[in-house]
Amino acid sequence: MKAKVHVTLKSGVLDPQGKAVRNALSSLGFGGVTGVRQGKYIEIDLDETDPARAREAVDAMCKKLLANTVIENYAIEIAE
């Protein structure tokens, strides 16, 4: 199975990298961009065949390592 994890900053958390990207886009002539939030995308290949157990394992991975749950949210997608 493959797990896809999207990690994003919680709303209200400052995103200096997102601000830098927005400024760079503006300087490149992309005018209309009013905000950018940057995050992480992680793909994990698993030996697990049960989607529920795979989701449970990836959720534990996110809580222990992949996401800082104080300032980040994460979403998990399991693909067979």
Exposed (0-12), middle (13-18) or buried (19+): which is 54, by Cβ within 10 Å? buried
CATH number at residue 19: 3.30.1280.10
Residue 36 forms part of a structural domain: no
pLDDT surpassing 90 at residue 80? no
DSSP-derived 3-state class of residue 32: coil
Mean pLDDT of 42-68: 98
Global pTM reads 0.89
Looking at the structure of the chain, the number of domains it has is: 1
Residue 27 forms part of a structural domain: yes
Tokens 């940057």 sit at which residue?
38
Mean pLDDT of 34-61: 97
Query: Is there a contact between 24 and 68 (Cβ–Cβ < 8 Å)?
Result: no
80 vs 34, residue with greater confidence: 34
Residue 25 forms part of a structural domain: yes
Containing structural domain, residue 47:
2-31+41-79
